[in-house]
Amino acid sequence: MSDRRRAALAGLGPALLVVDVQRSFGDPAFLAGHGLSPAASAAVEAAVTTTKTLVDAARARDVPVVWIGLGTDPATPWRASLWLRTGDPDAPYGPDEPCLIGTPGAEWYRVAPAPGETVVTKRGYSGFLGTGLESRLRDAGIGWVAVAGLTTECCVAATATDAFQLGWPVLLPTDAVAAYDPGMHEAALAQLALNVAVPTTAEDLTALWG
């Protein structure tokens, strides 16, 4: 990151946004049917490990950690998603639907909120859509955000894009995000770097907090 950008963040309160580090998206037992290559599986596990490291570092430096998780509610189905995936907007959710509320898939994976940390439940891709997250960050005086979690091209990208469009500078620790296909991950990083976020590493982000 350039010295000019770094200087512009000085004195602004940061926050770490952790996106969808849940069993449906990160636990190998839940990903068996997705056909991930060994490289992709290793990348997901590495991103979760690095996200956990960032969470620990943020807590040690009094940087707010905000938890954003998907909560799929059969009572209010996401009809557009069902249409896109199945062709039928009225199709019932199947047993493999990710992050169904009250099921193990919705649980956090290898890392979890601490008492008092902000937790929001989303119904779609972005952590800002219908969750009240924008007002909570503004009320907390947050001046810039870093986004970590799963997956790079989907919910990480949507959350980072909305944060940027709402006025927050966004940093993206590229070693703390992953996709189920390495090529898709790299393409998403390129698009986000061009239009949304400054890429960084977990190590450099931790130093910036410090």
Residue 155 designated active-site: yes
pLDDT digits (tens, 9 = 90+) for 69-114: 999 999 999 999 999 999 999 998 988 899 999 999 999 999 999 9
Given 43, 148, 155, 189, the catalytic residue: 155
Pick the CATH number of 3-209 from 3.40.50.850, 3.30.70.20, 3.30.310.50, 3.20.20.140: 3.40.50.850
pTM (predicted TM-score): 0.96
- 8 Å CB contact between 19 and 148: yes
pLDDT digits (tens, 9 = 90+) for 15-50: 999 999 999 999 999 998 888 999 999 999 999 999
Domain boundaries, given as residue ranges, for the chain: 3-209
95-111 in b/e form (b: 16+ CB < 10 A) is eebbbbeeeebbebbeb
